[in-house]
Structure 1
Amino acid sequence: MANFEEDQRDKKLLHGDHEMVYNPNSVSIVCVKGFSQIGYALVPMIARGAMFGPEQSVIIHMLNIEPKAEPLNGVKMEMIDAAFPLLKGVVATTDVVEACTGVNIAVMVGGFPRKEGMERKDVMSKNVSIYKAQASALEKHAAPDCKVLVVANPTNTNALILKEFAPSFPEKNITCLTRLDHNRALGQISERLNVYVNDVKNVIIWGNHSSTQYPDVNHATVNTCDGPKPVRELIKDDKWLNTDFIKTVQQRGAAIIKARKLSSALSAASSACDHVRDWVVGTPKGTWVSMGVYSDGSYGIPAGLIYSFPVTCENGDWSIVQGLKIDEFSREKMDATAKELVEEKSLAYSCLN
């Protein structure tokens, strides 16, 4: 199966701020739970080039549970009917081994949702079971350098569970999605200042993909005709930035569910494409993005958590941005979301036993 990073060569093209690399071979991607809201939004985006650019062919593997086999096959039929020029193959299966065999990228959309009357431990126990089976299949059958993005909630801790059951996977190859929160923060700043969202740079999401996350603008800038300007200097409203802005980003998912009676599938799918594209291709010079990655103790965050940090990406690898000044307000917020992740980790490990 084609290895995206090792086979990069030949033709280069521009894709927004990114320099995309043409690969004459196909990249294989598994989208777990391809019939879900997010999966249904994600697979056509991948097939149209949103994840790897307009000249990278792809083979998409979609996995779901046996009762969803027929609708999953319906999605496969639609993918074929859409005649995407980049789509070189579609696999729709309920067999986790078939789904994971040879894949270069795995986007883990499936998880057990919390239902009325369920305790957190009940949900965690269900997800431990799900991710145990999928982790084992990926470890045994995916390409050796397979990159994994966990989307399903609780995304940080699900990623931690996956690593527990795929011990040979490099820590750097398992991440979780906080790019959705990052993009939400960019959108809020863009709307507040009435500027193009592409002109807003370097917001940070610290911590958990939950209501304890900390959207931080202390290092963010906006490109103006006079050069980059700090977000705080342009907005001139610290009270809003320290209260309503943070709450809006933290609670955006719930607000969307309330408005459309469904989860934010479209924006989550788009953010997943952004996450993988930057990871594989690299972040533009001078720009960082937010990714849930293994903590190495940076910024005083306990090592061994999957925690959202500002990262830069190059040559298919990510690195935590170092040396950022952390004020007292930020320190408190960062520690609070780390505490929640420590509690989730403890709960997940109790389910392992």
Structure 2
Amino acid sequence: MSDQSLRVLITGAAGQIAYSLVPIVARGDVFGREQPVTIVLLDIPPMAEVLNGVVMEIVDCAFPLVTDIVATTNEAEAFTDIDYAFLVGSMPRKQGMERKDLLAANVKIFKSQGKALADHAKPNCRVLVVGNPANTNALICSKFAAPKIPPQNITAMTRLDQNRAIAQVALKAQCPAREVKNVIIWGNHSSTQFPDISNATCCGKKLPFTGHDETFISTIQKRGAAVIAARKLSSAMSAAKAAADHMHDWHHGTSDMVSMGVYSDGTHYGAPKDVVFSFPVTICPKTKEYKIVDGLSLDDFAKEKLVVTGKELEEERSEALAATELSS
């Protein structure tokens, strides 16, 4: 067992996603069964009592790998010396709220957390933004975490969309989900995302591809809304699993193509510059650095979908940056 404990921050820690995520992290499914962790939980002051209840449950689980638990409503305390962060907490969209209102509310949160990263976190910490709108929240966070934290170290979660797409492919092909590879999510974690199975394989063999299935694409794009309609709550369990998958692969590395929302420098697949865009990546086990997979073929249908989702991200960026300037 490692002598050094990883300091892992989970924000929005009194919420449903965190409630599902904490035990996955605590039992070693993310960073390894021999890696001790210090669990740091952050939420807003009105949730302090609930947060204390979460701590009680973690204690009662007696996780062998958990060396310490820190629960706080203070950002400076939460972000101090962290190695990894799951930024789950965000302002949810409420009835009657326009997208620009949602972006303006989240700008304040992720501007503050970006500054906290710059002021208190380790310079090589790795950050996953789960709270929606995840891509643009990650972008805003990265701008205020810089230059201490490089933008490459702040990513957004599109693994939930990838997992959903893999599951649908597995159901249709009647094969285990673990055998489905190279399913790609392009662009924004929103209804403009492009789930792409043109490179997908099953049991090591390329799936037959005769063209993009628009019913399949729509199913993945709207899956979150369908879960809310059925469950009357958001998809917390699957979101937590996806966050764990994302961070597991980032920590351990993977030669499989996986989807991550990462900073775009404008040189890959025509994606806009200075947005957080979901690409297929592989991750080096030694350096823990991801690399965008280049050279994949995109047909005209796919290129058009990437343009649409890229434009949405540019619009979100403009609205969020305007809100940032107003709230400076």
User: What TM-score does the superposition give when structure 2 sets the normalisation length?
Assistant: 0.96
The alpha-carbon deviation at position 329 of structure 1 amounts to 0.9
The alpha-carbon deviation at position 145 of structure 1 amounts to 0.6
Q: Which residue of 1 aligns with 2:264?
A: 295
Q: Residues of 2 paired with 1:187 and 1:105: CA distance?
A: 28
The alpha-carbon deviation at position 53 of structure 1 amounts to 1.9
Q: Which residue of 1 aligns with 2:78?
A: 99
Q: Residues of 1 paired with 2:258 and 2:189: CA distance?
A: 15
Deviations 1:321-350 (A, max 9, x none): 011111111101111111110110111111
Q: Which residue of 2 aligns with 1:176?
A: 156
Does the 8 A contact of 1:109 with 1:150 survive in 2? yes
Please list, as runs of the form range in 1=range in 2, the aligned pairs for 1:115-264 lying within 5 A after superposition: 115-168=94-147, 169-223=149-203, 228-233=204-209, 238=211, 241-264=212-235
**Residue 7 of structure 2 aligns to which amino acid in structure 1?**
S
Q: Residues of 2 paired with 1:232 and 1:256: CA distance?
A: 29
Partner SS for 1:34? coil
**Do residues 33 (structure 1) and 12 (structure 2) align?**
yes
**Do residues 77 (structure 1) and 49 (structure 2) align?**
no
CA RMSD of aligned residues (A): 1.1
Deviations 1:202-247 (A, max 9, x none): 1100000001000001111111xxxx222225xxx74xx5211111
Q: Which residue of 2 aligns with 1:310?
A: 280
Q: Residues of 1 paired with 2:247 and 2:227: CA distance?
A: 24
Q: Which residue of 2 aligns with 1:16?
A: none
Q: Residues of 1 paired with 2:213 and 2:318: CA distance?
A: 30
The alpha-carbon deviation at position 296 of structure 1 amounts to 2.1
**Residue 45 of structure 1 aligns to which amino acid in structure 2?**
I
Which blocks of at least 5 consecutive residues in structure 1 are unaligned? 1-21
- List, as ranges, runs of 4+ consecutive aligned residues in structure 1 with deviation greater than 3 Å: none
Q: Residues of 2 paired with 1:105 and 1:332: CA distance?
A: 35
Q: Residues of 1 paired with 2:73 and 2:96: CA distance?
A: 29
Q: Residues of 2 paired with 1:251 and 1:339: CA distance?
A: 19
Please list, as runs of the form range in 1=range in 2, the aligned pairs for 1:46-57 lying within 5 A after superposition: 46-57=25-36
Q: 2:245 aligns with which of 271, 274, 280?
A: 274
Q: 1:320 aligns with which of 268, 292, 300?
A: 292
Does the 8 A contact of 2:21 with 2:241 survive in 1? yes
Partner SS for 1:271? helix
Q: Residues of 1 paired with 2:4 and 2:177: CA distance?
A: 33
Q: Residues of 1 paired with 2:248 and 2:235: CA distance?
A: 20
Q: Residues of 2 paired with 1:256 and 1:57: CA distance?
A: 34
**Residue 175 of structure 1 aligns to which amino acid in structure 2?**
T
Partner SS for 1:232? coil
Does the 8 A contact of 1:217 with 1:232 survive in 2? no
Q: 1:329 aligns with which of 301, 319, 322?
A: 301
Partner SS for 1:304? strand
The alpha-carbon deviation at position 166 of structure 1 amounts to 1.2
Does the 8 A contact of 2:20 with 2:237 survive in 1? yes
**Residue 261 of structure 1 aligns to which amino acid in structure 2?**
K
Q: Residues of 1 paired with 2:27 and 2:13: CA distance?
A: 16
Across the two proteins, how many residue pairs are aligned to each other?
321
When structure 1 is superposed on structure 2, of 49-58 and 320-329 the one drifting more is: 49-58
Q: Residues of 2 paired with 1:164 and 1:52: CA distance?
A: 27
The alpha-carbon deviation at position 24 of structure 1 amounts to 3.1
Q: Residues of 2 paired with 1:232 and 1:294: CA distance?
A: 32
Partner SS for 2:208? helix
Which blocks of at least 5 consecutive residues in structure 2 are unaligned? none
User: What TM-score does the superposition give when structure 1 sets the normalisation length?
Assistant: 0.89
**Residue 207 of structure 2 aligns to which amino acid in structure 1?**
V
